[in-house]
Structure 1
Amino acid sequence: MFRTLLQRTAIRGTPRTSLKQAIPIARRPFTTGKPPSSGSPSIPAMLAVASMGFAAYWTLVKSREGQTMPRRQQKADPQPAAAPSNNNEEPPVPAFSADKVTVVFVLGGPGAGKGTQCDRLKNDYDFVHLSAGDLLREEQNREGSKYGDLIKHYIKEGLIVPMEVTIALLEQAMRESMEKDNKYRFLVDGFPRKMDQAIKFEESVVSSKLVLYFECPEQVMLERLLKRGENSGRTDDNIESIKKRFRVFKDTSFPVIEAFEKENKVKTVSCVKPVDEVYQEVRVIFDKMFEQ
């Protein structure tokens, strides 16, 4: 007791500057050397929070870049089934039935004699002769035709008129013959001049029955065309246009004949012989066709 009183007396008499030395204060082992305030997080906790924040930020950035987030890579949603292909789509329905309508494509170089032979065939076999070139020339001269200038340019340059125009004119002429004259056999002269024309015509109008190809050397055709040009009045019966037409036929029309040959639909007739002899060969082909 006396010792306690003496200690208190001694403390009271001790200057304030030496008070800390007299009563030592217990300290917590923090690196700062200062007692922490109540509720402050620990360093491991702060590091954990920082790691979580960085992970959330990284995930957000990657998702905005279009990359899949890590968890979704493990449990990805199933992909939707691929759309069915169009390979099974039904083909377009032609305007006319091949069982009722007979179409013979008459092909050959310019001046091969297609028109002359067609005139005889239409009389002997009740065909309607449709010349693609004549239909185009009539259309270019028809008043108010929206295709007139375009057709005139293509014919003058010896080029192929866009197939949509030619096919539309052919289908219209065929329909008029069926409705007015009740005729269903057609000789389509000078068409198709390209393979895409043949495909489009058979898809949208009617399938052809036969391809009649008049074979003739270029020199013979050139002589015939120059002679015809003396009186025909046609703008394409000149040496420059004729040579262009020869090139077009060789490059674009002849491959059509080769394609139809693979289908066994081509009958070839040489046109070097006199007209009557050529027609006798043609008649054999048509007699056999209608016997079937």
Structure 2
Amino acid sequence: MDTMLSLGHRFNIVSHSAKTIWLSFSLGIGFHHLWCALQKTDRPRKTSQVRVPPKVQDYRGLCKGQKPLIILILGAPGVGKGTQSAYLASTFGLTHLSYGDLMRKLSDDRASVVSTLPLKEGSKSPSVPDDLGALLVWKEIEQGMRNDNKMAWLVDGFPRNHRQVTRWMEQAVSVQLVIYLFAPMSVSASRISGRASGSGRPEDGDQDVTFDRLLRHRQESEPMLAKLEDQGFQVKRINSDRGLVEVQEELHTLVKVSRMRAGTQAEGAPY
């Protein structure tokens, strides 16, 4: 009887291991992820035969618990998201992903579904449904992790509203930090007007369009931030109507702490 129970137990272990192997290969998650999955079985093995690569080269090879660092930087048009994003990306070795730039790039790509979407009135930016926008952002991050081992991201201008927060939570990983830059509407409007000649965005030169955008953002921002906080995200509100260096010093401290907590170290990123 003991022999039969032992054989049955071994059969269950082998069967479980076989299912794990099949699932790993069918999902294309790679050899390293397969090794992670096999750790959950009771199959006897020599630990000396298993080596963990010194550096993860492929997102498909990440074990559970190895997640990318994702920071969101939000705010109305003209609050300085682009300027501060460039500073943080270069300082901390983050991959800067601008939602607006991504959608405009995809709009020019005839192979992308975004190229089939209508443009916003008086703008070169496409009108992208919330669920599609969230999916495309995550796809861009996933491809960067998978193909180029980009594990630290600064996403600029996404999400746009609380609906995109819901879509993000349905299909993607969590976020370590949400930075929300704010400034008086008059300050934002003045900055937008000042950049109109070189931004390549026709809407920047139209004051009526500018105030419509700012009003729409004001209406959507609080429900969006509340949704992010309800999901447990760390949201930090930063007044950007101050000196550039003062704002950057505050942002530097926030991102440094978030990176240390996440345990994500981008190569060559100075502190």
The correspondence for 1:214, drawn from 175, 181, 200, is 181
Question: 1:265 corresponds to which residue?
Answer: 234
Distance (whole Å) between structure 1 residues aligned to residue 147 and residue 75 of structure 2: 30
Matching residue of 1:103:
70
**In 2 relative to 1, CA 226–280 (structure 1 residues): closer, same or farther, beyond 3 Å?**
same
Specify whether residues 291 and 168 from structure 1 end up closer, same or farther in structure 2 by C-alpha distance, changes over 3 A only: closer
1:1-292 paired onto structure 2 within 5 Å: 99-153=66-120, 156=123, 161-237=128-204, 238-261=206-229, 263=232, 265-292=234-261
The aligned amino acid for 1:136 is M
Structure 1 residues 216 and 232, CA, compared in 2 at 3 Å: closer, same or farther? same
2:249 alignment partner, SS class: helix
**Is the Cα–Cα contact under 8 Å of residues 104 and 125 in structure 2 kept in the other structure?**
no
Cα distance, 1:99 vs structure 2: 4.2
What is the SS of the residue equivalent to 1:110?
coil
TM-score normalised to the size of structure 2? Answer: 0.66
What secondary structure is seen at the aligned counterpart in 2 of 1:211?
strand
Question: How far apart, in 2, do the equivalents of 1:264 and 1:150 lie?
Answer: 31
Is this contact kept in 2: 1:109–1:221, CA < 8 A? yes
Structure number with bigger Rg: 1
Q: For the Cα contact (< 8 Å) 1:103–1:187, is it kept in 2? A: yes
Amino acid at match of 1:283: H
CA distance in 2, matches of 1:287, 1:179: 25
CA offset at residue 117 of structure 1? 0.8
Deviations 1:185-240 (A, max 9, x none): 11111111111211211220111111101111110010110111112121321223
**Amino acid paired to 2:257:** K
User: CA–CA distance in 1 between the matches of 2:72 and 2:122?
Assistant: 20
Partner AA of 2:210 in structure 1? I
Write the distance in 1 (CA, Å) between the matches of 2:250 and 2:72.
Answer: 17
What is the CA–CA distance in structure 1 between the aligned matches of 2:151 and 2:122, rounded to whole Å? Answer: 29
Give yes or no for contact 1:215–1:270 (8 Å, CA) kept in 2.
Answer: yes
Among all aligned residue pairs of Structure 1 and Structure 2, give the percentage whose two residues are the same amino acid. Answer: 29
| AA aligned opposite 2:134 | I
SS in 1 for 2:107: helix
- Structure 1: runs of 5 or more not aligned: 1-94
Instruction: Tell me the C-alpha RMSD between the 2 structures.
Output: 2.5
Matched residue type, 1:286? V
Q: Once structures 1 and 2 are overlaid, which stretch shifts more, 176-185 or 276-285?
A: 176-185
User: Structure 2: how far apart are the matches of 1:124 and 1:177?
Assistant: 19
- Going from structure 1 to structure 2, the CA distance change for 1:272 and 1:242 (only over 3 Å counts) comes to same
Cα distance in 2 between the residues matched to 1:244 and 1:159: 17
Distance 1:209 1:98 in 2: 14
Name the CA distance, whole Å, in 2 between partners of 1:290 and 1:178.
Answer: 17
Deviation per CA, 1:10-65, whole angstroms, max 9, x where unpaired?
xxxxxxxxxxxxxxxxxxxxxxxxxxxxxxxxxxxxxxxxxxxxxxxxxxxxxxxx
**Cα offset for 1:283?**
0.7
- Structure 2 alignment gaps of length 5 or more: 1-59, 262-271
> Per-residue displacement from partner, 1:109-133 (whole Å, max 9, x unpaired)?
1011011111111122221111111
